[in-house]
């Protein structure tokens, strides 16, 4: 019996050490907290949760400022040139002077756009994220379709599999960032 208790105790200590190692060493490497000053600044400026911004950056680019998608979205928050130029104009910036691979510019424009989507879609985060991924015009059409939205505000169905998956991934990453870093 004493031998069993010793093995059980050893196993418990090993699990605690493994969990501590994972929490303190592995998770911060897998889900880093990079560009913290910029994320804090623009999340506060555009009334966004920092954990949401980190979730978007993680899912969009894995923190690679030079990332380019198959849809030609660029930078940390994967902003397309067209959206970047339009957002820059709305923000009072010179569209021809923006560099979407610059982390500060990309996070600033990405946060502004997320804020704009949140306002456009009545503060429904899932809908705003769907708009970030699939385009606000597509989401507006989905909200107008009774098969996809009973109330015209929330999406009951997201018809693009990629967008449905994207929304779930960002929301999961947001929750993990919130838990891991107490954001």
Per-residue pLDDT band at 4 (split at 50, 70, 90): confident
Per-residue pLDDT band at 121 (split at 50, 70, 90): very high
Q: Is the pLDDT of residue 21 over 60?
A: no
Distance (Å, whole) CA 173 – CA 181: 12
Write the DSSP assignment of 84-124 as a string of letters: HHHHHHHTT--GGG--TTSHHHHHHHHHHHHHHHHHHTTT-
Question: What's the pLDDT score for residue 2?
Answer: 80
Alpha helices in the chain (DSSP H): 2-21, 27-30, 36-45, 50-61, 81-90, 103-120, 125-134, 136-144, 161-181
Q: Is the pLDDT of residue 14 over 60?
A: no
Specify the pTM: 0.86
Per-residue pLDDT band at 18 (split at 50, 70, 90): low
Q: List pLDDT tens digits, range 130-167.
A: 999 999 999 999 999 999 999 999 999 999 999 999 99
Q: Which are the contacts of 140, defined by CB distance < 8 A and separation ≥ 6?
A: none
The H or E element containing residue 31 is none
Q: Is the pLDDT of residue 94 over 60?
A: yes
Distance (Å, whole) CA 126 – CA 139: 11
Per-residue pLDDT band at 25 (split at 50, 70, 90): low
CATH 3.20.20.70 fits 35-181, yes or no: no
Total number of residues shown for the chain: 183
* 147 is a catalytic site residue: no
Which among 40, 60, 119, 174 is annotated as catalytic? 60
Please say whether the beta carbons of 157 and 147 come within 8 A. Answer: yes
Domain ranges of the chain: 1-30, 35-181
Percent of the chain past pLDDT 90, that is, above it, reads 80
Short-list 56, 36, 35, 44, CA closest to 125: 56
Count of beta carbons in the 10 Å neighbourhood of residue 119:
12
Short-list 108, 126, 111, 136, CA closest to 47: 111
Question: What's the pLDDT score for residue 13?
Answer: 56
Q: Which are the contacts of 51, defined by CB distance < 8 A and separation ≥ 6?
A: 174, 175, 177, 178, 181, 183
Tokens of 167: 């929304």
């Amino acid at each position: 019996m004493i031998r069993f208790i010793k093995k059980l105790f050893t196993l418990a200590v090993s699990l605690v050490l493994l969990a501590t190692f994972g929490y303190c060493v592995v998770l911060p490497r897998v889900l880093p907290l990079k560009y913290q000053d910029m994320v804090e600044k623009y999340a506060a400026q555009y009334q966004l949760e920092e954990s949401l911004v980190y979730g978007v950056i993680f899912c969009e680019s894995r923190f690679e400022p030079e990332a380019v998608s198959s849809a030609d979205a660029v930078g940390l928050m994967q902003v397309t040139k067209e959206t970047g130029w339009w957002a820059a104009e709305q923000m009072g910036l010179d569209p021809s002077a923006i560099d979407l691979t610059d982390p500060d510019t990309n996070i600033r424009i990405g946060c502004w756009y997320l804020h704009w989507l949140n306002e456009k879609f009545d503060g429904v985060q899932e809908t705003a994220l769907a708009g970030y991924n699939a385009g606000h015009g597509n989401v507006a059409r989905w909200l107008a379709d009774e098969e996809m939205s009973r109330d015209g505000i929330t999406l009951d169905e997201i018809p693009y599999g990629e967008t449905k998956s994207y929304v779930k991934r960002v929301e999961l990453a947001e929750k993990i960032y919130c838990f891991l870093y107490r954001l």
